[in-house]
Amino acid sequence: MITLADVAREAGVSRTAVAKVLLGTGGDHVRVGDETRERVERSAEALQYRPNRAAQRLAGGQTQTLGVLMDTVNAPVMNDRLSAVEQEAAHRGYRLLIGQLHGDVKVLADYLADFDSRGVDAILCLFDVTHGRAERLKPILGGRTDVVFHGQPLVDGGYCVRVDTAKAVGYIIGHLRECQCHRIGLQLENMQDELMTVRQDAYVEYMEASGQSITPSLIWRADCEAVNPTPETIHDAMESLVLRAKADAIIASNDIWAVHLVQALKTRGYRVPEDVAVTGYDNLDLATIIDPCLTTIDQQHSRYAKASLDLLVAIASHEDLSPSQRTITIEPKLIVRASTKRPDRSSSVRR
């Protein structure tokens, strides 16, 4: 195994300088110039140096390894987010160890034990703790100070990265109002999910702010959590929102639901967006494949990844962050496409 001493001999510098460049040790007491840094990096690459993470752990230092806990709920979005986190981690010299729960919180303790045995520097929980899990997670994760949560911290003062869901709903409603939509429907998944409650509250707030009265029939909830809807649930949503409530726009809970709704509308003879506009959420690849392409919300995965690594590195470096610094909120972005662009009827009249 190539060691720091080997790289030091190759570069013609001290072992301390090599450790500073490749491992980040020495703090402010060790300074390395740009020329020396480049020479060390070239030598390490030529020798194919790889850090001995086991030795780092035994010495009480950072292993440059992070643990990530995932679940299969909303897998398409979380996989995209994980990819962004992995790229950002690699850019900062960190590796990831990944554990998937598959909906089973019981395996969480096993993954944590594995992460601890491997000396991970910090852990990212890349799943939403609002799925009725908070009380079950607290006995396992509540006492840890090395975990960054998604959506909301598990305990007061915890670390968290979140996307501003309420603001995303506000962006959509503002855009639909500009498109002259007057009966905007909201499709929600299982209301036991607190995230859906946040969306409903935001819908009510922004609709009232835009001068629109709230019509209960324009809010439709699925009977069960369904990231991938069945034909029966799509039928029920269509019956409720379009046929009975006469919605001229539908805010879908995600891009998958939106694609199914667009297909169902077209099958029934409705035009999208001329008769009913449809918006999605998540900006998945399929949003650009469906005809018409979906207006949707981009959750800014690259910014999320940078914020997550900022907190994870702070934990690994034992930085003392204030409570306000421990929660980072990412602002989403509205992506406007053809599913909401209404043609100017005055200019489209042919003579």
Q: Structural domain boundaries of the chain?
A: 4-52, 65-163+301-331, 165-299+335-348
Does residue 92 have a pLDDT over 90?
no
Does residue 139 have a pLDDT over 90?
no
Please tell me the predicted confidence (pLDDT) of residue 347: 35
Tokens of 313: 């590195």
Average pLDDT over residues 71-93: 89
Gap between the Cα atoms of 231 and 226, Å rounded: 11
65-163+301-331 and 165-299+335-348 share one fold: yes
Please tell me the predicted confidence (pLDDT) of residue 350: 27
Q: Which residue has the higher pLDDT, 343 or 27?
A: 27
Average pLDDT over residues 130-159: 85
Enumerate the β-bridge partners of residue 204.
none
For the domain made up of 165-299+335-348, give the CATH fold.
Answer: Rossmann fold (3.40.50)
Cis peptide before 51 (omega within 30 of 0): no
Gap between the Cα atoms of 88 and 147, Å rounded: 18
Give the DSSP letter of residue 67: E
Average pLDDT over residues 48-67: 69
Most confidently predicted of 9-23, 122-136, 239-253: 239-253
Gap between the Cα atoms of 121 and 175, Å rounded: 43
Pair type for strands 296-298 and 333-335: antiparallel
Tokens of 324: 């306000």
Average pLDDT over residues 80-93: 93
| pLDDT tens, residue by residue, 200-238 | 999 999 999 988 888 999 999 987 666 778 999 999 999
Tell me what percent of the residues of the chain surpass a pLDDT of 70. Answer: 89
Do 68 and 123 contact (CB within 8 A), yes or no? yes
pLDDT bin (cut points 50, 70, 90) of residue 76 is confident
Q: Is 74 helix (H, G, I), strand (E, B) or coil?
A: coil
Q: Which residue has the higher pLDDT, 139 or 194?
A: 139
Task: Give the other-Cβ count within 10 Å of 148's Cβ.
Answer: 27
Please tell me the predicted confidence (pLDDT) of residue 119: 87
Helix boundaries (H) for 227-341: 231-238, 255-267, 301-316
Please tell me the predicted confidence (pLDDT) of residue 272: 97
Average pLDDT over residues 111-130: 88
pLDDT bin (cut points 50, 70, 90) of residue 26 is low
pLDDT bin (cut points 50, 70, 90) of residue 308 is very high
Sheet arrangement for strand 219-221: 219-221, 184-188, 249-251, 277-279
Q: Which CATH architecture has domain 65-163+301-331?
A: 3-Layer(aba) Sandwich (3.40)
First to last CA, the chain: 80
Average pLDDT over residues 278-292: 96
Do 294 and 71 contact (CB within 8 A), yes or no? no
Please tell me the predicted confidence (pLDDT) of residue 128: 79
Pick the CATH number of 4-52 from 3.30.420.10, 1.10.940.10, 1.10.260.40, 1.10.1660.10: 1.10.260.40
Enumerate the β-bridge partners of residue 45.
none
Please tell me the predicted confidence (pLDDT) of residue 349: 31
Mean pLDDT over all residues of the chain? 88
Please tell me the predicted confidence (pLDDT) of residue 351: 22
Gap between the Cα atoms of 342 and 15, Å rounded: 65
